[in-house]
Amino acid sequence: MDLARGEVTGRRRRWPGNAARLGLMALPVAFFAVFFAYPVAAIVRRGLRVDGAWQFGRFADVLGDQGIRHVLWFTTWQALASTALTLLVALPGAYVLARFDFPGRQVLRAVVTVPFVLPTVVVGTAFLALLGHGGLLDQLWGVRLDTTVWAILLAHVFFNYAVVVRTVGGLWAQLDPRQEEAARMLGASPLTAWRKVTLPALAPAVAAAALMVFLFTFTSFGIVQILGGPAFSTLEVEIYRQTSEIFDLSTAAVLTLVQFAAVGAILAVHAWTVRRRESALKLVDAALTARRPRGAGQWALLAGVLATIALLLLLPLAVLVQRSLTAPGFGYYRALTDPDGGVFLVAPITAIGTSLSYAAAATAIALVIGSLAAAALTRRDAGRLVRGFDALLMLPLGVSAVTVGFGFLIALDKPPLDLRQSWILVPLAQALVGVPFVVRTMLPVLRAVDVRLREAAAVLGASPWRVWREVDLPMVRRALLVAAGFAFAVSLGEFGATVFIARPDNPTLPVAVARLLSRPGDLNYGQAMALSTILMLVCAVALLLLERLRTADRSGEF
């Protein structure tokens, strides 16, 4: 009887239970409250509260300014244009990598993902080397595009190509091709079969990818800062200008709240599309759907996609490397070992060690916070509280990193959180960006674990911590390594917040590149190219290791 009662209890018991879920959420909520909500609220309060009174009239003043309206308009339309252009260019690549089997396919998947984990400073620098003064286009045809909107749009496509390929291509590879074949057997043309069978199944994934691309381009900072010049400014760039150059905190606070509201709306729509993606679809093993290209048309499509990847993704990086090697005897690289009192208090080369140590610390923080958050979100039948918690985890990807960084300086300068002189400030800011990637990497794997294993362990008396350690961890250890790699790469390249809080004697690689680019002279420009190349190689190596882990996952070792 006791055994039967235990079995019934085990069936009814869900993991994690409400109490356990709240316990798992406690540390992530506290982390985001202290190091995200508090700094953002502090800078908004500093900007909108004067002599004890709230200055809500500043909204009308700021939004009525013609220059600010131009910034809002440019931010919106360039994000829409970047999103449309990215979908147009990347959807054929998503199809090829999902449906075609050809030599080097896995390597190509890693290559197209490299731009996404590259720091925006490196992307901007690469396109500056391609499109700017003395760049490849300037040398060949005397054409410069570095201060035009086309440079920004192309750089955004370069940066977000992998978002479409991974999001749409991942689902495309698992759609059963027999559904489309059945429609063609019934007399539908290839285009009609694709439009009425495949496209409706892909629509939620396409919408989710489009929203993520729009979010990243709407909040673009490093790319616009380097390529846009004085003529173009997004909300993020304008917040930085108002904060660091004009010192108008009230305008910066208004713009921060405007961006916060826009990002909240985008994330709400994105969450809705993700839930639609999780609806029932007839999916098969992705390895069973890929096949060799057939006919001249498919081979031409493969060739076109390879040419696009070579010109759009590889050429800017190759030009970046070439420009870093133009000085004889690796002169730009050797110059990195010389201290430059005009920009740094230390030799620029020290930024490599500083960035690696900061990124390692940020990765450790992101793994702890992200793992707890993912465990709390494991159950799909979560209520509004948990869904709100899920949305909170995504906010750092869209809320102004400039605001967060400056908020750190304002809010974390008094006991018991006087961290302005502490090295940990930079990893904390970087971890905020890394946590969403950890959660999104681990959550699907955690949800795939058979809940009966957890319930059996709980019935036998295991605590939630022991259930996680002995049931979940052995199954998700590889996903944990993948999450660590993503967190490390994005932490290494974080720029918006770090530019405010990195100390002059401890600059990170993105900050060092931006400072070198801000100074005239071929030597500074060449050193920026050299540092960007080093940063690119570190990110590429990390991503190739991730791809090997993903490939190994298919062996069933989990």
Residues 184-215 pLDDT 10s = 777 767 777 777 777 787 887 888 788 889 98
Q: In this predicted structure, what is the pLDDT of residue 398?
A: 67
Nearest to 321 by CA among 130, 512, 151: 130
- The more confidently predicted of residues 445 and 327 is 327
Q: Copy the structure tokens of residue 144.
A: 């410069």
Q: How far is CA 183 from the centre of its chain?
A: 38
* pLDDT band for position 385 (cuts 50, 70, 90): low
Highest-scoring range by mean pLDDT, 251-265, 339-353, 424-438, 510-524: 424-438
Nearest to 47 by CA among 246, 254, 261, 260: 254
- Report the share of the chain in percent with pLDDT over 70: 84
Distance CA 198, CA 176 (A): 9
Distance CA 254, CA 248 (A): 10
- The more confidently predicted of residues 37 and 264 is 37
Q: In this predicted structure, what is the pLDDT of residue 280?
A: 44
20 CB contacts (<8 Å, ≥6 apart)? Answer: 464
236 CB contacts (<8 Å, ≥6 apart)? Answer: 219, 220, 221, 224, 259, 400, 401, 402, 496
pLDDT for 366 beyond 90: yes
Q: Specify whether the CB–CB gap between 459 and 6 falls below 8 A.
A: yes
Q: In this predicted structure, what is the pLDDT of residue 203?
A: 81
* pLDDT band for position 8 (cuts 50, 70, 90): very low
* pLDDT band for position 64 (cuts 50, 70, 90): confident
- The more confidently predicted of residues 14 and 62 is 62
* pLDDT band for position 118 (cuts 50, 70, 90): confident
* pLDDT band for position 243 (cuts 50, 70, 90): confident
Q: Specify whether the CB–CB gap between 74 and 233 falls below 8 A.
A: yes
Q: How far is CA 461 from CA 24, 309, 351, 467, in A?
A: 18, 54, 50, 10
Instruction: Give the mean pLDDT of the chain.
Output: 79
Distance CA 208, CA 275 (A): 10
* pLDDT band for position 309 (cuts 50, 70, 90): very high
* pLDDT band for position 6 (cuts 50, 70, 90): very low
* pLDDT band for position 80 (cuts 50, 70, 90): very high
Distance CA 479, CA 538 (A): 21
Give per-residue pLDDT as tens, 207-237. 878 888 998 899 888 888 888 777 788 888 8
Which residues sit opposite 54 in a β-bridge?
Answer: 49
Nearest to 292 by CA among 112, 110, 103: 103
pLDDT for 84 beyond 60: yes
Q: In this predicted structure, what is the pLDDT of residue 14?
A: 52
82-91, 258-267, 441-450: which range is least confident on average?
A: 441-450
- The more confidently predicted of residues 58 and 191 is 58
Q: How far is CA 421 from CA 240, 425, 468, in A?
A: 22, 8, 37
Strand locations in 43-127 (E): 49-50, 53-54
* pLDDT band for position 82 (cuts 50, 70, 90): very high
Nearest to 121 by CA among 555, 429, 542, 534: 534
Q: In this predicted structure, what is the pLDDT of residue 437?
A: 82
Segment 138-146 shows an average pLDDT of 76
Segment 293-317 shows an average pLDDT of 89
H or E element that contains 414: strand 413-414
164-173, 206-215, 235-244, 281-290: which range is least confident on average?
A: 281-290
Quickly count: other Cβ atoms within 10 Å of residue 17's Cβ: 13
pLDDT for 276 beyond 90: no
Distance CA 406, CA 418 (A): 14
pLDDT for 143 beyond 70: yes
* pLDDT band for position 79 (cuts 50, 70, 90): very high
Segment 407-426 shows an average pLDDT of 83
Residue 58's Cβ-count burial label (10 Å; 0-12, 13-18, 19+) is middle
pLDDT for 10 beyond 50: no
Distance CA 132, CA 129 (A): 6
Q: How far is CA 71 from the centre of its chain?
A: 23
Radius of gyration of the chain (CA): 25
Give per-residue pLDDT as tens, 388-409. 677 777 778 767 788 888 888 8
Q: In this predicted structure, what is the pLDDT of residue 77?
A: 93
pLDDT for 436 beyond 50: yes
Distance CA 3, CA 261 (A): 54
- The more confidently predicted of residues 417 and 155 is 155
pLDDT for 1 beyond 50: no
137-151, 162-176, 535-549: which range is least confident on average?
A: 535-549
Q: In this predicted structure, what is the pLDDT of residue 367?
A: 92
Nearest to 345 by CA among 358, 354, 357, 333: 354
